[in-house]
Amino acid sequence: MRTKQAVVLFLLPLVVAGTASAHDIGGSRFDAPIPLSFLFVGGGLTVALTAGLLTHTTEPNTMDSERGIFSVGTLPSSIVTAIRVCARTLFLIAFIGVLVTGLFGRQVATENFATVFVWPIWLKGVALLALLVGSPWSVLSPWRTIYEGLCQLEGGAVSILDSYPRWLSEWPALVGFLLGVGIIENLTVIPRSPQQTALLVSVYALVMLGGGVTYGAEWFRRADTFAVLYRLFGSVSPITTTRTTAGDAQISLRYPWRRCTESVDDRAIIAFIIAMVYTVSFDGFTNTPEFQTLLFGVRDLTGLGPAVSAALYFIGYGGFLGVFWLVAILSHRAGLATDALATAQVLAPTVLPIAAAYEFAHNYPFVVQSLGQLITLSGRAIHLPITVTPLEWLSLPVFWASQVVVIVIGHIFAVVASHILFDEHTTERIGYTQLPLTTLMIAYTMLSLWIISRPIVS
């Protein structure tokens, strides 16, 4: 019965009729069969009613018990080793290819391996892979591969200093995310320049290698933006692998919210999670007419020029942090955790399904289309005249509907995760204690649906 109720609630925003506009794909426009008011209210009600349904009809421990992990099978160590070696080698070759083609190849973004690979396949594609099967970055990381090669040459770990400083935490990774993804990827022309892309990758690689030689392997786990980003995205993956003592890989299915019920223990991770949620929304917002109006209005008012866009990004990030901190304070006063910081540590992982859902909904066409372009470029390199267009089947109505579905599902998973956590960390009524966070999730659901409802501005 609860399953049928959830399906009805979930389909509510999709079954009414009206008009709205959606993001452009292939230069076309689409009038969605849903009025904006129905879309926003329906999405918000789906999240609100899911929270209420969980509070009154389920026991949290039934959703996060050991029954939440289902074994699928085991890969023998020989196959695991072969996969790891092949993946690591191919990604290292791709990394070298980025440097060579970016610096010396034809400087056309759509025809250069560097720009076609780095931004859609590497940055976004590996993120989508992490959403499905967990982070593969410890295997793929080219700078970690080079570092481990140095360790083999030296016959042991390479580290100038004794250990990674505790005070550094994941702050270097956060800085890298804010500058690399928040500013460079979203607000500059570097992603359209093969040469500048290659230079950026080479500089980042030198920083990573320098940190690894200075602080050891822990640097790659905590200071590398890609490592932290993909590890957090991997928290919501429905597929997980566990290495056995024999080296085999145990493959299992799990509830996507399972790892999101584990509180974090560091301020930097909290700030990173909020940056993930905010930045993917900001990425979508920059394509809307409202952002363009705001941007040029502030430019005219201040006379600061292009720097305004970066200022708007950081102001918005500060606003997201402030709202999350307010929710943490209100949740603590309602009976959650021992203080506001401990409450923030409990709440932060619960919004990861939201970041993951928006990341997938916003970027999967970009990744798939670029993968086809990469295959086409590879064919040309070996004089094989092939053209791959994998999105020909994807109509604009289907794409728009998929965005709505994925975003609402992500918010539902976040509600489930928060329900479990609130049950574990408070003795008060869950519905009352959970109200500030549920309100935030409802508001963000409506904001996300509003962003994808707006027409794209070039």
Q: What is the pLDDT of residue 258?
A: 83
Burial 400-412 (b: 16+ CB within 10 A, else e): bbebbbbbbbbbb
Q: What is the pLDDT of residue 15?
A: 37
Predicted confidence band at 353 (pLDDT cuts at 50, 70, 90)?
A: very high
Tokens of 261: 């019920």
CB atoms near residue 415 (< 10 Å)? 30
Average pLDDT over residues 58-75: 63
Q: What is the pLDDT of residue 220?
A: 97
Average pLDDT over residues 106-132: 95
Picking from 440, 457, 50, the residue whose alpha carbon sits closest to that of residue 278 is: 440
pLDDT in tens, 126-173: 999 999 999 999 999 999 999 999 999 988 888 999 889 999 999 999
The answer to whether 349 and 425 are in contact (CB under 8 A) is no
Greater model confidence, 14 or 207: 207
Q: What is the pLDDT of residue 34?
A: 61
Look-up of token digits 């998973």: 413
216: left (phi over 0), alpha (psi -120 to 50) or beta: left
The answer to whether 158 and 213 are in contact (CB under 8 A) is yes
Q: Give the lowest-confidence range in 40-44, 237-241, 243-247.
A: 40-44
The answer to whether 184 and 200 are in contact (CB under 8 A) is yes
Q: What is the pLDDT of residue 19?
A: 34
Q: What is the pLDDT of residue 23?
A: 38
Q: What is the pLDDT of residue 51?
A: 67
Q: Give the lowest-confidence range in 108-112, 114-118, 174-178, 433-437.
A: 433-437
Q: What is the pLDDT of residue 17?
A: 33
Contacts of 409 (CB under 8 A, 6+ apart): 10, 357
Contacts of 27 (CB under 8 A, 6+ apart): none
Question: What pTM, to 2 d.p., does this model score?
Answer: 0.88
Whether the pLDDT of residue 208 is over 60: the answer is yes
Whether the pLDDT of residue 226 is over 50: the answer is yes
How far apart are alpha carbons 257 and 54 in whole angstroms? Answer: 14
Whether the pLDDT of residue 416 is over 60: the answer is yes
CB atoms near residue 215 (< 10 Å)? 20
* HEC readout, the chain: CHHHHHHHHHHHHHCCCCCCECCCECCECCECCCCHHHHHHHHHHHHHHHHHHHHHHCCHHHCCCHHHEEEEEEECHHHHHHHHHHHHHHHHHHHHHHHHHHHHCCCCHHHCHHHHHHHHHHHHHHHHHHHHHCCCHHHHCHHHHHHHHHHHHHCCCCCCCCCCCHHHCCHHHHHHHHHHHHHHHHHCCHHHCHHHHHHHHHHHHHHHHHHHHHHCCHHHHHCCHHHHHHHHHHHHCCEEEEECCCCCEEEEEECCCHHHHCCCCCHHHHHHHHHHHHHHHHHHHCCCHHHHHHHHHHHHHHCCCCHHHHHHHHHHHHHHHHHHHHHHHHHHHCCCCCCHHHHHHHHHHHHHHHHHHHHHHHHHHHHHHHHHHHHHHHHHHCCCCCCCCCCCCCCHHHHHHHHHHHHHHHHHHHHHHHHHHHHHHCCCCHHHHCHHHHHHHHHHHHHHHHHHHCCCCC
- Determine the Cα angle at 341 with ends 447 and 50, to 5°: 40
Q: What is the pLDDT of residue 9?
A: 42
Q: What is the pLDDT of residue 434?
A: 79
Greater model confidence, 66 or 41: 41
Predicted confidence band at 14 (pLDDT cuts at 50, 70, 90)?
A: very low
pLDDT in tens, 79-108: 999 999 999 999 999 999 999 999 999 999
Look-up of token digits 């039934």: 62
Whether the pLDDT of residue 20 is over 60: the answer is no
Greater model confidence, 16 or 139: 139
Q: What is the mean pLDDT of the chain?
A: 84
Q: How many CA atoms lie within 13 A of 183 on its CB side?
A: 16
How far apart are alpha carbons 330 and 58 in whole angstroms? Answer: 25
